[in-house]
Chains A and B, each alone.
Chain A
Amino acid sequence: MPYPGRFGAGAEMGRGPYEKCGLVRDTSLPPLRTVKESFEIPFPYADVEKDGKKTRELTADELNVNTTLWYVPFGEFDGNEVAFFSDERKIELKSEWIWRK
């Protein structure tokens, strides 16, 4: 429906071009400005017992990280989504690590 669901009143907002006068939070990328996002991704690990002691071990010291900026017009991956940007990289954690709890 080409009207904001609550006609621009109150604190409820929706998604869609016609919802814009009901916006209470804008997550679009503003022009000529930088937006920063940080993502923390734990490497896979397992807590194991070795020689009677509990210890933590990395199960993989390499991660293949894919970063994609999606535009999802209807809020779901329903075939209308568009990837603006995509990057794939390997992140390594190959330094020696002695687990100390």
Chain B
Amino acid sequence: MGVLRIVTFLFLVSCLWPSWGLCSGGAKPAVKLPKAKTIAELAARYDSSSCQECHEEIYEQWENSLHAYSILGTPRTAPTVLTGVDKGLKLFPYSGVKEDKDIQVRHLMFCAKCHLPQLEEATDDVAVEIVKTIRAWMKEEDEDKAEELEEKIASLNIGCTVCHNTRAIIHKWQYGYPQPDTVYGAQEGEHEHPDFTKMAKSPQLSESIFCGQCHGEGPNFELDEPSQCATLYGSYLFAYIPEGGHESCQECHMRKSGLGHDMQAYRSETMRKMALRVDIDSTSYFWRKNKAEGVIPMALVNVEFFNKCGHAIPDG
């Protein structure tokens, strides 16, 4: 009986251990910040420049990544948002959007869920302003003005605090809700920053599931009008892992690549080189094809591609 009690106690301890060791979140913050009313306000709330002073190298890496241009894109994301508005929202009979002024935050979430999750903290005026700004940028012929508009669009991005605060904890009932004064990473303690004064460990920041929040599994069925772009995490879970793969997203895209927070994909030569093993074999022969065409002198090139990635390529 005593042994059973000890085993039961140890089992309960093991169940609770993860939440003890990584008790980084807390109660759902009772007070929410008022919704941002302009792009500038929303951008300021998620501005990463205050992180630059102490984390210069990481900041420079991030600045080169597409996370820093998540709405602008390469720049093909911003025009795609407009196509979604003009060829989608305005033509859908039940979207409620006939003109740009009808656009609400919920309408843009088909893109913003991943490209700008913080849009949830903004008023519908910001959704309208985003569309208006992209439209103006695409039409602007004056280079300086176009650049100014481009900077405004680029001010909306997946900055430090999106990953290291708002999206840092996935299972909030288990680990608690991200706290407004805490930056989540690999360490805990005090943090020299006027707003984020504490550091806490994020239970999943270095796990693939963390990236899966945006680089997801498939259509966003939770939306009234599901969209779908990134499915890498689905490919990771249902194709890579069953084949025996065991690396995490961060392992390849951050550590082995040496790119750190400059997380890249096919546009990076480093990532392209890491992605594939290609074997080519060739030979030549005479092919006695048929009576009409006779013998054809032929070269044969056999190509074998082995995809070393944790997901199918390409994904776009």
Q: How many A-B residue pairs lie within 8 Å, measured between CB atoms?
A: 165
Residues of B within 8 A of A30 (CB): 239, 243, 307, 312
A49 touches B (CB below 8 Å):
no
B146 touches A (CB below 8 Å):
no
Q: How far is the CA of A89 from the CA of B284 in the complex (A)?
A: 13
Residues of A within 8 A of B267 (CB): 82
Number of interface residues of A (CB under 8 A): 49
B266 touches A (CB below 8 Å):
yes
- CB pair B111 A20 closer than 8 Å: no
- CB pair B276 A1 closer than 8 Å: no
Interface residues of A (CB under 8 A from B): 1-4, 8, 16-18, 20-21, 26, 28-43, 45, 56, 58, 63, 65, 67, 69, 71, 73, 80, 82, 84-85, 87, 89, 91-93, 97, 99-101
Q: Which 10 A-B pairs have the closest CB atoms?
A: A32-B243, A43-B297, A17-B229, A31-B240, A28-B312, A93-B284, A29-B307, A41-B299, A39-B301, A2-B227
A-B contact pairs, 24 of them (CB 8 A): A2-B84, A3-B225, A17-B316, A20-B218, A20-B229, A31-B240, A34-B305, A36-B303, A37-B305, A38-B300, A39-B300, A43-B297, A63-B299, A65-B301, A67-B280, A69-B305, A71-B266, A82-B266, A89-B280, A89-B282, A91-B283, A97-B297, A99-B294, A99-B295
Interface residues of B (CB under 8 A from A): 76, 80-81, 83-84, 87-88, 110-111, 218-219, 225-231, 235-236, 239-240, 243-245, 266-267, 272, 275-276, 278, 280, 282-287, 294-316
